[in-house]
Amino acid sequence: MIQNHEIDYRIIGEEMQCVEIELDPQETAIGESGSFMMMDREIQMETIFGDGSNNTSNSGLLGKLMSAGKRLLIGESLFMTAFTNAGNGKKKVTFAAPYPGKIIPLDLYRLNGKIICQKDAFLCAAKGVSVGIEFQKKLGTGLFGGEGFIMEKLEGDGMAFVHAGGHVLERELQAGELIKIDTGCIVAFTHTIHYDIQFIGGIKNTIFGGEGLFFATLEGPGKVWIQSLPISRLASRIMSYGRVGGRKEEGSILGGLGNLLDGDGI
């Protein structure tokens, strides 16, 4: 029996996407803080504590406090916003992605009720979807996992939407099939995927590789969503270009020469 609100949606745009959700009367969608873009007049907006799910394990004040408090560990707000159609006909509310990339619709009913995703990936969902955290239990994963140590957990049987940077690859892994991936490039995966962290190894790789000391391993069976441009990588590149005269120095005389040719001077 489906417990979450059943919502229709339309994803609009190419590089800076938004998702338009159509709500029947009394249907509700929840959105992460700062994701709201626009809504019809009859949509009522309400700030709620936690995710507004009907998870019985979080019933009572203490349970709700613990559930919402965990969100602080993944850098999210204690509160979400609920958008309810208080009118008579179908009404629309639209949520926008915070940076260039793609919005990924996830039908939790068809994905066995649970998805693990990066801690900043969640955008919005049907009311009833539980948004929690997933700890990676292995010591190595916890110490060296980077973005992958504490992840978000989406549970329920409704629609949820996550966003990713750049282009998104969707890959189905068979039982025993394993891929190695930069931890920041993981967007989401089904709960049947085995996730771990491995040391790259090798002195040259460690000192000169420039790719970090660890990567993630994802082993099937299950489905994986991978992004080509993690926001952390994009931010790092922007900062590196802004350190010296607004231009990235490439470690050679040509970098300084380029600044002179551009009229930036030293």
- The pLDDT tens digits of the residues spanning 60-91 come to 555 555 555 555 555 556 688 999 999 999 99
CA atoms within 13 A on the CB side of 109: 13
Distance CA 200, CA 107 (A): 35
pTM: 0.78
The neighbour count for residue 72, using CB atoms within 10 Å, is 11
**CATH number attached to the domain at 8-249:** 3.60.160.10
- Residue 115 is given by DSSP the state E
Annotated domain spans of the chain:
8-249
Rg (CA), the chain: 21
| Whole-angstrom distance, CA of residue 120 vs CA of residue 103 | 13
96-129 pLDDT, tens digit each = 988 889 999 999 999 999 999 988 899 999 999 9
- Tokens read off for 2: 């489906």
